Amino acid sequence: MLSPTTTIEDVFFGFYSWLDKHPTEALLISINHESGTGTPNNAKFYEHLYDLFNSSPATEYWVQSNRTLGTLGEARGKMVLLQRFSYDILPDYNTKRIGIYLDPNQWTDNGANISIVYNNAKNQIAYIKDYYEIGLDIGAGAAENIQWKFNTTTAHIQDAIDNHPDQLYISFASSEHNVDLPPEPPRVMALGNGTEIQGVNQKLLPWLQERKGSRFGIIMLDFFDSVPGLVEAIISV
């Protein structure tokens, strides 16, 4: 957890320091505006981001290409911006923009099957599953909610395995169903409820291991380090 006084510069420098220690790695950084944070969604906010990306040391650490997914070799030791915000309210002369633009108007809330074309000329598409609020009836219980989330997550990962090998896939394995009785918060959905009921993370481990060597895309996890071997299964080591 970060201090409430942490600035975005502090966060960036944390990433830069990590990359200095791990120069063969690459980071994909998703940035968007969250309405509940108290940060105004105005031109000043986006001008600040724009100026950060276009000044040192950011220019040395962020991949400088725009609206295209490059190679891992090009990104080693650097950060790739997944831009989930719009620069529409910035002046037209602010043209030096980086990253993969994932239009926030197309990234639908709780979307189970999102497709965003981020480069028409190269036909580059992002396929995203961000289905985090399970919509089962009240009282469905942990086992059914977890299984429902597991099924939708693995279906999207299987699509990454079977189709569009050169496209960007992002699958969120995190979820919650807090309106259920009793509720299933993110920890229960990820790790189970302390009984024999396994969470999504435990269920994912053998599923991924059975498909070792496949291309899974990006898988986003809550409590990523609570199931030994899960991260290794995702990156197929």
Closest CA to 46 of 3, 97, 100: 97
- CATH architecture entry for 106-237: Alpha-Beta Barrel (3.20)
Report the pLDDT value the prediction gives residue 74, as an integer from 0 to 100. 94
Report the pLDDT value the prediction gives residue 151, as an integer from 0 to 100. 98
Report the pLDDT value the prediction gives residue 80, as an integer from 0 to 100. 97
Query: Which residue ranges in the chain fall short of pLDDT 70?
Result: 1-2, 237
Reported pTM:
0.92
Sorted by sequence, the CB contacts under 8 Å of residue 58 that are 6+ apart come out as 12, 52
Separation CA 32–CA 102 (nearest Å):
10
Q: Are 133 and 100 in contact (CB under 8 A)?
A: no
Report the pLDDT value the prediction gives residue 171, as an integer from 0 to 100. 98
Residue 24 has what DSSP assignment? T
Domain with CATH 3.20.20.190 in the chain: 106-237
Report the pLDDT value the prediction gives residue 39, as an integer from 0 to 100. 76
Report the pLDDT value the prediction gives residue 1, as an integer from 0 to 100. 56
Report the pLDDT value the prediction gives residue 237, as an integer from 0 to 100. 62
Report the pLDDT value the prediction gives residue 172, as an integer from 0 to 100. 98
The token pair that represents 88 in the structure block: 């529409």
Sheet containing strand 124-129, strands side by side: 114-119, 124-129, 168-172, 218-220
**Residue pLDDT, tens place only, 88-105:** 888 888 889 999 999 999
**Residue pLDDT, tens place only, 118-166:** 999 999 999 999 999 998 999 999 999 999 999 999 999 999 999 999 9
Separation CA 163–CA 178 (nearest Å):
34
